[in-house]
């Protein structure tokens, strides 16, 4: 269900549902990828940052594991998990890997507040990912 434009919700326990009548403007993985790329570009930590459509030396692979709201209490919490791996494209050699888990609480169960909480969680993820990639980049440069 994550690979869609529906907003996934766990209303109770392991029950999976979607918010009725509400959709993201694009599929969640692509939307998050665009946001993370934009954040990396704005931070100007690297000479170039782009999607996989252009030639590159290092590839950041990612797997979106969680991108949902959970009614563990009210208001709901947002749960994001992104597993990432840096790979040398020339040798196809893994260079580093980690997993980011973000949890944040919405201000209320109202849809606009839930969507805003997704935004805050995505911002926190972007910040943590940028810091990690920058640290890995520094490590890789000193290892050369």
pLDDT band of 78, cuts 50, 70, 90: very high
The pTM is what? Answer: 0.87
Q: What is the per-residue pLDDT across 85-116, written as a single tens digit (0 to 9) for each?
A: 998 878 888 889 999 999 999 999 999 999 99
pLDDT tier, 67 (very low <50, low <70, confident <90, very high otherwise): very high
Q: Which residues contact 2 (CB under 8 A, 6 or more apart)?
A: 8, 28, 29, 64, 66, 67, 68
Select the more confidently predicted residue: 92 or 138.
92
Residues 31/39, Cβ–Cβ less than 8 Å:
no
Characterise 21 by phi-psi region: left (phi > 0), alpha (psi -120 to 50), beta (else): left
Contact 63, 83 (CB under 8 A): yes
**How far is it, in rounded angstroms, from Cα 4 to Cα 119?**
17
Average pLDDT, rounded, for the chain = 87
Write the CB contacts of 143 (distance below 8 Å, at least 6 apart in sequence).
none
pLDDT, position 57 = 73
Output the six-digit token pair for 44: 């100007």
Strand pairing class (58-70; 93-105): unpaired
pLDDT, tens only, 17-45: 999 999 999 999 999 988 988 888 888 77
Following DSSP, what letter does each residue of 15-50 receive, concatenated? EEEEEEEEE-SS-HHHHHHHHHHHHHHHHT-SS---
Cα-trace Rg, the chain: 17
How many Å from the N-terminal Cα to the C-terminal Cα in the chain?
41
Query: Please, are residues 50 and 111 in contact by the beta-carbon 8 Å criterion?
Result: no
For residue 47, pLDDT beyond 90: no
Q: What is the mean pLDDT of residues 119-124?
A: 96
């Amino acid at each position: 269900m994550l690979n869609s434009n529906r907003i996934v919700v766990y209303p109770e326990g392991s029950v999976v549902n979607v918010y009725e009548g509400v959709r993201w403007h694009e599929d969640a993985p692509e939307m998050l990828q665009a946001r993370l790329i934009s954040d990396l570009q704005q931070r100007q930590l690297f000479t170039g940052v782009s999607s996989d459509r252009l030639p590159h030396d290092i590839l950041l692979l990612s797997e979106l594991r969680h991108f949902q709201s959970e009614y563990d209490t009210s208001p709901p919490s947002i749960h994001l998990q992104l597993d990432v791996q840096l790979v040398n494209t020339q040798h196809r050699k893994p260079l580093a890997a980690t997993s980011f888990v973000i949890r944040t609480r919405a201000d209320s169960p109202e849809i606009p507040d839930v969507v805003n909480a997704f935004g805050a969680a995505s911002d926190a993820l972007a910040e943590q990912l940028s810091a990690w990639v920058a640290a890995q980049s520094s490590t890789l440069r000193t290892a050369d």
